[in-house]
Structure 1
Amino acid sequence: GHVTEKYINFIMNGNNAVNVRSFDNHKPNVVVYGGGLLNNGITSSLINLSKNFDYDKYNLIIVDKNKVNQEFEANIGRLSEKAHVVYRNNGLSLTYSEWIKYNRLFNRSSVEDIKTHQIFVAREWKRLLGNTQVDRAIDFGGYAPFWSYMMAFSKAKRKIIYQHNDMQAEFDKVVEGRYVHKKNLTTIFEFYKYFDYIASVGKLTMEQNKKNLSKFVSNDKFVYVPNLLDKEYLFNHRNNPQLSIKEVLGEEKLIIEEASEFGRNMLVGVTAPTKNAKNFVTIGRLSPEKDQEKLLFAFKEIMMQSNDQHQLYIIGSGKEEKKLKTTAYVLGLEKNVIFVGQTVHAMEILDKCDLFVFPSNHEGQPMTLLECLALQIPVVATDIPGNISVLEDQNGMIVDNSVEGLVGGMNRYLAGEKIPSSLNVDQYNQDALNRFYALIE
C-alpha cells in the first residue's frame, strides 16, 4: 500500500496524500506512570483506579516502558478498556552535552538548572505523545527516578507523586545484603519539591512520611488518597465460581487451572480447604517486608498447641519463595502450608478461608485488608500504621508485630473471639474518588 512512501512524502515534501485526523476530545489528559505493572498492590490499585475513573470528564493515559513478558501483558489486560496505554521505546533524544547534564542530575541527585530539564522532558513527551498535552501528571509508582523526573519537570497543571509505603522504611530496606531502593529514592526525594502533592495512600502513612521526609518538601504538600476497590474482582466469584474441588489420587484438590489437549487433561491444583479444622490465609508479594516467615513460625506454634490439622494458604509470588518453602519444610509444616503462587482467583480462595493473617512490617494502605473487609473475612494484623489506618477501631484485630503477637491473635480467634469485618465498598470508593479528583481539578 506504499504507506512508508506516503508518510515520507508527507513529512519531507509536504505531500497531503496522508489523511491526518485529530483525536482531541477537549478533555484534560491525566497521564499516569503505573509503577511497572508488576504483580503487586500498586498495580492492583492502578487497575482499580482505571475501572472507577471518570472518562466523561478526563482522558486517562497510562505510560510505561514496553516489556515483553507474561506478567506485564496480563496486567495490561486487566486495565479498563477505556484507558489509553502508551509504550515507551528507546531512550531520550539528547546531544552529547545534554547527556552530560542529564546524567549529572541522576548521579548527584541534584537539580542545577530547572529550565534545561524542562526542555528535555518536553521533548520526550513530544516524542511519546505527539501533540497530546500532559495536563495532569501522576507518578503512581513512586520508585522509578526516570518517571518521577518526567512528571516533575512536565508542564502539567497538576503534578502528583504517590507514596504507597513508609518511604523511609523502603529507603532503609536491605535484601540479600544490599539496599534495594536507596539509590533510586535518594534521587526521587530530591524531586519531591517539584510536585504539587505528595500523596500517601493512608492517613497514618502520610503522617509517618511527613515526619520522616519533611526536609525535602513543605508539609502542606503531603496529602492522602486511599486506593480504590474493584467490585467485580471482589465479588464476581460468588455469582460465577471458577474453582472446583476434585479428588486426585485419593486427595481432594482445589483446581485452579484446568486444560485439555488431544485427550490429555492437565490440572493445576492445591490441597482443598479442610472441613475439620481452620483455614488460615495470607496474600501478598513474597518479600522481606511482608515477613511471611514470621507467620510460618507463628503457625508452627499454633500447630504445636493444637491437635487439629489447620491449614495455612500463602498466596503470592516473589524472591522469598524458595526461602519460605525451606523454612516451612524445616519446621515440619510441608503438609499444612500451601503455597498457592500468583493467581487471578485469590478472592475466591480467600472467601473459602476462615481467618486472614497479615504479618507485614510496613505498609502504605494494604489492599488485601480492604478486600478482606469487603468480603467480611476476619483479620489479624500487625501493629503498624498502614494496618491501623485501614482497620481503625472498627474492624479486625491488631496485635504486636512479633511471632508472639500473631500466635496470640490466632489463638484468640480459635478460642471463639468474634472479629468484626465489614466495609461499604460503594461509600468507600466514592470518598476515595472525591479525594483523588480534588487533587487533579
Structure 2
Amino acid sequence: MNVTSPAVVLRRVKRAALAQVHAHYRTQPLAPRTVFYESFGGNGMLCNPEAIFRSLLQASDQQQLKHIWALSSGREHDATIAKFAGNPRVSFVRRGTTGYYRALATSRFLVNNATFPPEFSKRPGQIYLNTWHGTPLKHMGFDMPDGPMEAANTLRNFVAADYLLSQNPFMTETMYGSAYKLDGLYRGTVIEAGYPRVDLQFLDSDAAASGRHLLDDAGITLGGRRLVVFAPTWRGASFNRPDENLDEILEARSALQQSLDPTRWFVALKLHQAAHAQAAGRADARGVLIPNAIPTNTVLGIAEILVTDYSSIFFDFLATGRPIVFFTPDHDDYADARGLYQDPSRLPGPVCVTIDHAAAAVATFADATSADTSTADADDRYAEARRAYVPWDDGHAAERVIDIVFRGTNAGHRLRRFDSTSRPTVLLHLGGMRPNGITTAAFNLVNSIDQMRFDVSVLYPAGPLARHILTDRPLDAGIRHFARVGGMNGSKWLHAKRRLADRLGRTSLDLSDPAEYALWDDEWTRCFGDSEFDHVIDFSGYGPIWARLLLHSPTGSRTIWLHNDMAADAQRRVNGKLVHARSLKVVFSHYNDFDALVSVSPALAAINRRNLGEWAAAEKFISAPNCVDGEQIRALGASASFGCADEPEQDLEERFEQLRESGDTLFITVGRLSTEKNQARLISAFALVHARQSASHLVIVGSGPLRASLEALIEELGLTASVTLTGELSNPYAAMSRAHCFVLSSDYEGQPMVLLEAAVLGLAIISVDFETVADALPPGTALIVPQTVEALAEGMAAYLAGAVSAARFDDEAHNREAIDAFYRVLDVERRVQEH
C-alpha cells in the first residue's frame, strides 16, 4: 500500500490553493493602468523590463500607471524594494505567491524578458510585451539540443505576446522567425527598435559617476582605475549545478588582472544569472563579482574593454564602439554541444583559446585605449558587426517601445509581421507519444506532408515519453512543436463539476455550458496564444482532453482519426475492466462536432459508420490510409541494437544468434500484450506447429497487462524453451529483420502498421481474418486464414512447407496514395468550412 507523506500532501494542498486563487483573480476585472514586470524569473529589477520601467516612471504622460515587479524570495532584493518604498506607484510581489498570481491575472500590461510560468494564459484585454534578453550567439529554440522540450514554454509565451522586441534584423529572422518557427504563425507584432537596456550605456558624466558609485557600494572599488568586464556565459550541464566551472572562471579573471597595471585597470566579473547566486557566496569572488542588482548595461557603459565568450552581452557592448576580446578555450566542444550561429572567424575581436593569449589581447587594447577613443572601429569585422547587430541602439529604444506599446503610436517605427503565408496551416495532435502503432503512423504522416504546401505544427504532452521518442526518431526539422506543458487553469470546483458530468453522461458541457466553454477556450489560449490554424487534426482519437481542446480552435476545420473499430475498443476489457469505455464515450459525444471522422481504411470506415451512427452523420465517416517510413524501417532493421527495455540487450542478441545458427524457423509478432491482439491464440497455434516441427521458435515483441497470463500459458503448453517474450523494444525492426515469418493473430485492427512494416522488411506474412485485413496490404501480400487456432496453425505449417512467399511491397507507391488521400481529407475540410 502506497502512503503519501504529509509533506507531499501539504505541497499538493498549497498548489491547489494557489490554483484556486489564480482562478478567482482571472474572473476579476483588469486593472487598466497597471504594468506587471518580470525579469529572469524574478531574479531582480533587470534588463529591458527595468529600462522600460524607468522610462515609464519618468514619462510625464504616463504618470497614471502603477508598476508591480515580481521578485524571487531572498534578502538580495531588500535594497531594491527599499529604494522605492516611498513611491506609491511602485510595488513588489514575490514570485509564485497569491500576490503574484493576482498581478499576473489582473494587470493590463505584462512585460517579461523571459517567460511567465506554465499557468500563464493571457486574458482578453491584456497587452503582453516580451522583450527577450539578448541577441543569440548560441543556438536557440528548436535549433538547440532537445529543442522541442526546451522551447515549449518559451514558444507558448511568444505566441501569446502582442509584441516581441527585436534588437536587430538577425534576431528577428534567425531567432524569432526561424529558431522558434514563428514565421507563418505569430499573429502579433515584432518591434524592431533596438534594446532599451542599451540606452543605459549612453552615459553622461553624472550617470557614469553614479554607476561607479554603485560598484563601490558593492565592494568593487575602482577609484581612478578603468574597468574591464569579464563576462563568460554559463556552461553547466544543468541549472541545478550552476557552479560547475566557477573555479576556472575565477582563475581566468585573476590571470586577466595580472596582465594589467593594477593601478590603472581593474577586472570585474559579470556572471550568468544561473551562476551568480553560487558565486556570491564564495570568498574569492568578493570584491570582484558584479551584483545582479546593478544593471548590466550601466556597467557596460562604464567599461573600457569587454572579455566574453558566447554570451550575448557582446552584442550590447558593440554599441559603445569599444574593444571586445573573445576567450573561447572550449570552442569546439561548446559548438558541438550547443551550436553557434556565427563562425568565430567573424567575431568582432580577437578570438583566444588560451588565457595567456586573451590576457595579451586585453593588455594590447589597454595600452592603446584612451579615455575617449577606440581603435576597434578600424577593424572591418567590428564595423560590420555594429551595422548588423546594433543598427537601432542609439539611446532612444525605450522611448520607441513606449510609443508603440503604451501610447499606441506606430507611425515612423519599424514593425514586422510573421503571419502572412500562402501555405495553409495544419495543427496535428500526435497522441500520448507512447511506442505504439498510432505514434508510428503519426510520425510517418507528418514527415510525409509537403512542407512547401503546408505549414505544419504538432501537439503532444511534454515529458519523458516524448523526449525519448523524439530522441530515437526526430521529426523533420521544419515542423513546429507545441509540447503541452502545465495543466488547465480554472476553479477546482468547475473541474470537479466537469468530471462528475462525464460520469453522469453529460459529456458535451464544454460546448454548451458557458462556464465550461470558457474554461476550454482559456486552455486553447494557454497552449497556443493567439495562433490560428486552417486545419486542426486529432490524429490519436482516444483522449477526451485533446478532442475537446482542438474543438475549441477559434478558426479552421476540425478532423479526428479513427484507428480501430472504436465501438469494439470501447468494450475492450483488460484484467476485467473496461479501460476505454468512459473516455471513448466522451470522445464519441463530440464526433458530430468534427467536420470529418477519418478511419485508416475504407473497410474500417464502413465498420465505424455502422457501429457509431448514433454519434455522427454517416457522410462524416471517410478514410485515408496510414503512411509507412520504409527507408527508416530498413535502416533500423539492419541495426544491431534492439533497444531492450526488460532484459540486457546482449542476452537477446545472443539468443537470436543462437536460434539463427541452430537453423530454427523464427516466427515473430509485434504488438501490445492486450486482449484484442490475442497472442494467446498464436501461442496455442504455435504449440500445434512446434509439435510437428520442433526446429521452430516463436518470438513475441511487446509489453502489456497480459504478460503474466501469456507466460503461464507458455509454461502450461511446455513451450518455455521455444517461445521468447522480449518485452518492449524501442527498435522492434531489428528483431523482425532477423525472423522469417510474421504472424498476426488479432481479433480486430484498423490498418495494422505492423503488417506494413513486415512487408517493407520482406517477411512472409500470415494473418488471421478480420474485417479490415483486406485493406491492410495489397492483394497477395499475405496469407489470410480464419480466426481459429487450427487455421492459424495450418497457415504457419504452410509457411514451413514453402507455400508462403516473402512479401513484395512498394512502400513508395503506397505512400504516394496515402498522402494524396490525406490531402483529399484536408480538401473535404476546406469544403465543409466554406459551406
**TM-score, normalising length: structure 1:** 0.87
Aligned to 1:24: 183
* TM-aligned CA distance change 1:65 to 1:7, over 3 Å: farther
Q: Which has the higher contact order (CA 8 A, sep 6+)?
A: 1
Per-residue deviation, residues 205-244 of structure 1 (Å, max 9, x unmatched): 1111111001111111111111111122222157xx322x
* TM-aligned CA distance change 1:83 to 1:349, over 3 Å: same
Aligned AA (2:571): D
Following superposition, the deviation at residue 268 of structure 1 comes to 4.1
Following superposition, the deviation at residue 190 of structure 1 comes to 0.6
Aligned AA (1:280): F
1:140 matched to 2:533? The reply is: no
Aligned AA (1:85): H
Bigger shift: residues 408-417 or 265-274? 265-274
| Aligned partner of residue 451 in structure 2, secondary structure | coil
Aligned to 1:339: 725
Counterpart among 164, 183, 191 of residue 582 in structure 2: 183
Provide the C-alpha distance between the structure 2 equivalents of 1:214 and 1:234, rounded to a whole number of angstroms: 37
Aligned to 1:322: 708
Aligned to 1:373: 759
Aligned to 1:48: 444
**Contact 1:286-1:321 within 8 A present in 2 as well:** yes
1:267 matched to 2:650? The reply is: yes
Counterpart among 503, 519, 529 of residue 130 in structure 1: 529
Following superposition, the deviation at residue 143 of structure 1 comes to 1.0
Aligned to 2:676: 289
| Aligned partner of residue 267 in structure 1, secondary structure | helix
**Contact 1:109-1:190 within 8 A present in 2 as well:** no
Counterpart among 463, 466, 469 of residue 72 in structure 1: 466
Aligned to 1:350: 736
Provide the C-alpha distance between the structure 2 equivalents of 1:53 and 1:15, rounded to a whole number of angstroms: 34
**Contact 1:118-1:154 within 8 A present in 2 as well:** no
Provide the C-alpha distance between the structure 1 equivalents of 2:500 and 2:449, rounded to a whole number of angstroms: 38
* TM-aligned CA distance change 1:257 to 1:124, over 3 Å: closer
Gaps of 5+ in 2: 1-37, 53-108, 112-127, 133-164, 167-171, 177-181, 185-420, 828-835
Gaps of 5+ in 1: 244-254, 259-264
Aligned AA (1:111): S
Aligned to 1:94: 490
* TM-aligned CA distance change 1:120 to 1:413, over 3 Å: same
* TM-aligned CA distance change 1:16 to 1:309, over 3 Å: closer
| Fraction of identical pairs, as percent | 26
Counterpart among 216, 219, 226 of residue 615 in structure 2: 216
* TM-aligned CA distance change 1:15 to 1:201, over 3 Å: closer
* TM-aligned CA distance change 1:136 to 1:422, over 3 Å: same
**Contact 1:200-1:206 within 8 A present in 2 as well:** yes
**Contact 2:643-2:731 within 8 A present in 1 as well:** no
Aligned to 1:202: 601
**Contact 1:158-1:439 within 8 A present in 2 as well:** no
Provide the C-alpha distance between the structure 2 equivalents of 1:315 and 1:216, rounded to a whole number of angstroms: 36
Provide the C-alpha distance between the structure 2 equivalents of 1:390 and 1:109, rounded to a whole number of angstroms: 37
* TM-aligned CA distance change 1:73 to 1:346, over 3 Å: same
Provide the C-alpha distance between the structure 1 equivalents of 2:577 and 2:643, rounded to a whole number of angstroms: 37
| Aligned partner of residue 154 in structure 1, secondary structure | coil
Aligned AA (1:356): F
Following superposition, the deviation at residue 127 of structure 1 comes to 1.1
Provide the C-alpha distance between the structure 2 equivalents of 1:120 and 1:323, rounded to a whole number of angstroms: 43
| Aligned partner of residue 652 in structure 2, secondary structure | strand
Aligned to 1:397: 783
Provide the C-alpha distance between the structure 2 equivalents of 1:345 and 1:87, rounded to a whole number of angstroms: 24
Bigger shift: residues 192-201 or 28-37? 28-37
**Contact 1:162-1:199 within 8 A present in 2 as well:** yes
Following superposition, the deviation at residue 100 of structure 1 comes to 6.8
Following superposition, the deviation at residue 314 of structure 1 comes to 1.1
Per-residue deviation, residues 163-198 of structure 1 (Å, max 9, x unmatched): 110111101111111111100111111100010110
Per-residue deviation, residues 394-432 of structure 1 (Å, max 9, x unmatched): 221111112112111111222221346222111110111
**Contact 2:630-2:757 within 8 A present in 1 as well:** no
1:167 matched to 2:566? The reply is: yes
Rg comparison, structure with higher value: 2
Per-residue deviation, residues 254-309 of structure 1 (Å, max 9, x unmatched): x7469xxxxxx983424123352311111111111111111111111111123x32
* TM-aligned CA distance change 1:101 to 1:176, over 3 Å: closer
Provide the C-alpha distance between the structure 2 equivalents of 1:386 and 1:76, rounded to a whole number of angstroms: 30
* TM-aligned CA distance change 1:356 to 1:237, over 3 Å: same
Following superposition, the deviation at residue 43 of structure 1 comes to 0.7
Counterparts of 1:96-111 in structure 2, within 5 Å, are: 99=495, 102-103=498-499, 106-107=502-503, 108-111=505-508
**Contact 1:294-1:359 within 8 A present in 2 as well:** yes
Bigger shift: residues 180-189 or 339-348? 339-348
Aligned to 1:246: none
**Contact 2:524-2:552 within 8 A present in 1 as well:** no
* TM-aligned CA distance change 1:16 to 1:257, over 3 Å: closer
Aligned AA (2:433): L
Aligned AA (2:40): V
* TM-aligned CA distance change 1:405 to 1:109, over 3 Å: farther
Aligned AA (2:738): K
Aligned AA (1:279): L
| Aligned partner of residue 385 in structure 1, secondary structure | coil
Provide the C-alpha distance between the structure 1 equivalents of 2:599 and 2:131, rounded to a whole number of angstroms: 50
Per-residue deviation, residues 114-167 of structure 1 (Å, max 9, x unmatched): 483554333222211222223321111111111111122323422111111011
Bigger shift: residues 35-44 or 19-28? 19-28
| Aligned partner of residue 453 in structure 2, secondary structure | coil
**Contact 2:425-2:535 within 8 A present in 1 as well:** yes
* TM-aligned CA distance change 1:194 to 1:8, over 3 Å: farther
* TM-aligned CA distance change 1:57 to 1:146, over 3 Å: same
Following superposition, the deviation at residue 329 of structure 1 comes to 2.0
**Contact 2:679-2:745 within 8 A present in 1 as well:** yes
| Aligned partner of residue 590 in structure 2, secondary structure | helix
* TM-aligned CA distance change 1:368 to 1:98, over 3 Å: same
Provide the C-alpha distance between the structure 2 equivalents of 1:372 and 1:123, rounded to a whole number of angstroms: 44
Bigger shift: residues 381-390 or 16-25? 16-25
| Aligned partner of residue 695 in structure 2, secondary structure | coil
1:385 matched to 2:544? The reply is: no
* TM-aligned CA distance change 1:189 to 1:15, over 3 Å: closer
**TM-score, normalising length: structure 2:** 0.47
Aligned AA (1:49): L
**Contact 2:642-2:649 within 8 A present in 1 as well:** no
Aligned to 1:247: none
* TM-aligned CA distance change 1:287 to 1:103, over 3 Å: closer
| Aligned partner of residue 720 in structure 2, secondary structure | coil
Per-residue deviation, residues 6-57 of structure 1 (Å, max 9, x unmatched): 5766744688855255623224332222220111100111111222122223
Provide the C-alpha distance between the structure 1 equivalents of 2:671 and 2:130, rounded to a whole number of angstroms: 55
Aligned to 1:248: none
Aligned AA (2:486): N
Aligned AA (1:146): I
